[in-house]
Amino acid sequence: MFINRRGRSDQACCCFWLALAVGTTAPPAAQHAAFAQIGPASLEQAQANYQRELAEYDAARQQYETLAAPYWKSVSDKRQLRNAKRRNGEPVVVDDYVLAQPPVYAGPPRPVDPAAPAAQAPVTRAAIPTVGDFLSNALTQFQFVPERPTSELEFKASYAGVAAEAGLTRSQIVRVYAFESGGNGRYDVQAGLEYDRPDGRPISTALGYNQLLNTNSVELLAEKGDQFLTALRRKSVSLRGEDRKALDSKIEALRRMIEFARSVPDEWGQHETLANTPQGLGIHAMNLDVDVGPLLQTQKLLDSLIFARTKGLLHELSASELEMMNLTGDGNGYDLVSMPPDTREQVPTSNFFQRGGYERNPVAIRHNTAASLFAAIDAKMDVESMLPGATELAAAYDAAIRRCAR
């Protein structure tokens, strides 16, 4: 689990981060079904075997814990030390990270008690809201229907224009888009549906080219809503007739959404609560609007760049560095991107995780240094930035730069 400051929930990172290690032992329910088929004598023997295996497991886990507990405490202590040094303006050096890899449990798996009741059916979780939910709530809560683009290229042109004007580079927007959307994702793509698989299903509310969560949308309106209103009003001045009327109606809906987003203190947890209300889901539909969506998507990346600069990071963030901040939240991402390249080779990825999240994340375990983790992101970007959607966005950005130069 990433330690997020704000801006990205560890439950919401893209599929690249959500793959979970799958054990090789039979599921408990299947083992209980097998136990149910054996007679009393065999069950007695199975119980004896279970007690022996449990003792072996407990001994192995205890031995592992004598190593793991101090290790993860040192990770936490070092993180607090780095935070304190940054607050005091002191340089962070390689010794401020834990440089050893975490201990690996190599003992037997926990055995299944043959006398325990069979596992109950898994609890059904609430369905993750989808684009249809965002649209219906925008209509019922704010009487708003996003102005959808007539084509994907129209949205790309709008997004590229906003991003170029904001100072984002071609590499940053194209490679982040490629990583987040699979290189061909539409402006309305939702996390889990990037690759058009028949069995695909949403894994979070993350939406669009940069995969903003519904909480991101609420927070951006609360913090930057006035900027968005200014941009729309500037555009409105040049319009007449029905076009002007339609944009003014959009501005009014946006104003009411901003008012709702500001009805709580400016804190991620407060915004998350609002985001999961019908009004919050309706706000998230703004990502689908050809005018407002690019503003939201661009601002999320721009905020990460600004955060890094205010912390004293002077070099231009590469696409993979920007994506790391987009994925993990600015605070934790800054901890990663502020390290010099040679330090990244030495620092294990465990420094940026809680223990439970790390042990469930095979990507972080496999790419077990910061350098390796960045390389994995770059490799995925390299492949998917060559796909048609990414090349279209690159062309749209080039066209936007030419317009700005005129």
Q: Which of 122-131, 255-264, 293-302 has the lowest mean pLDDT?
A: 122-131
How is residue 368 written in tokens?
Answer: 């077990």
Query: Worst-scoring range by mean pLDDT, 43-57, 209-223, 238-252, 381-395?
Result: 43-57
358, 348 Cβ separation under 8 angstroms: no
Residue 106 token pair? 């190599």
**pLDDT computed for residue 123 by the predictor:** 57
Q: Is 180 helix (H, G, I), strand (E, B) or coil?
A: helix
Q: Where residue 124 falls among pLDDT bands split at 50, 70, 90?
A: low
* Res 12: pLDDT: 41
Q: In this predicted structure, what is the pLDDT of residue 38?
A: 56
pLDDT band for position 37 (cuts 50, 70, 90)? low
Looking at residue 376, its pLDDT comes to 93
CB 91 within 8 A of CB 339: no
Tokens describing residue 371: 């350098």
Whole-number mean pLDDT of the chain?
88
Supply the pLDDT for residue 114.
Answer: 85
pLDDT digits (tens, 9 = 90+) for 63-79: 999 999 999 999 999 99
Residue 406 is predicted with a pLDDT of: 75
What is the model's pLDDT at position 189?
A: 93
Q: Where in the chain are the domains?
A: 26-62+77-124, 131-405
When pLDDT is averaged across residues 391-395 and rounded to a whole number, the result is 98
| pLDDT for the residue 41 | 64
Task: Provide the pLDDT for residue 360.
Answer: 84
Q: Residue 349: is it exposed, middle or buried by C-beta count within 10 angstroms (0-12/13-18/19+)?
A: buried
Percent of the chain surpassing pLDDT 90: 68
CA dist 140 → 249, 281, 287 (Å): 15, 11, 17
pLDDT given at position 116? 77
* pLDDT band at residue 137 under the 50/70/90 scheme: very high
Which tokens go with 382? 């390299």
Nearest-CA neighbor of 160 among 171, 146, 173?
Answer: 173
pLDDT value for 187: 96
DSSP letter, residue 103 = P
Q: What is the pLDDT of residues 332-341, one digit of tens each?
A: 888 889 888 8
pLDDT tens-digit map of 149-206: 999 999 999 999 999 999 999 999 999 999 998 899 999 999 888 776 777 788 899 9
Band of pLDDT at residue 40, cut at 50, 70 and 90: low
Instruction: Supply the pLDDT for residue 340.
Output: 82
Whole-angstrom distance, CA of residue 344 vs CA of residue 52: 44
Taking the CA atoms of 173, 175, 179 and 183 in sequence, report the sign of the dihedral they define.
positive
Q: Please count the other Cβ atoms lying within 10 Å of the Cβ belonging to residue 115.
A: 12
Q: What share of the chain in percent tops pLDDT 70?
A: 87
| 1, pLDDT greater than 60 | no
Q: What is the pLDDT of residues 323-332, one digit of tens each?
A: 988 877 888 8
Q: What is the pLDDT of residue 118?
A: 63
CA dist., res. 217 & res. 115, Å (int)? 50
What average pLDDT does range 285-295 have in this prediction? 98
Does the predicted TM-score (pTM) go above 0.85?
A: no
CB 282 within 8 A of CB 140: yes
Q: What is the average pLDDT across 138-155?
A: 97
Q: Write the DSSP symbol of residue 351.
A: G
| Residue appearing with tokens 């991101």 | 216
Lowest mean per-residue pLDDT among 26-40, 105-119, 225-239, 250-264: 26-40
What CA–CA distance (Å, rounded) separates 104 from 365? 10
CATH topology for 131-405 is Lysozyme (1.10.530)
Judged on CB neighbours under 10 Å (0-12, 13-18, 19+), 240 is: exposed
Angle between helices 241-261 and 131-142 (to 10 degrees): 100
Mark out the alpha helices in 182-329 (DSSP H runs): 214-236, 241-261, 268-275, 278-284, 292-310, 319-328
pLDDT at 18: 42
pLDDT tens figures, 356-381: 888 888 888 999 999 999 999 999 99
Tokens of 231: 């941009």
Q: What one-character DSSP code corresponds to residue 82?
A: H
The pLDDT, as a whole number, for residue 400 is 95
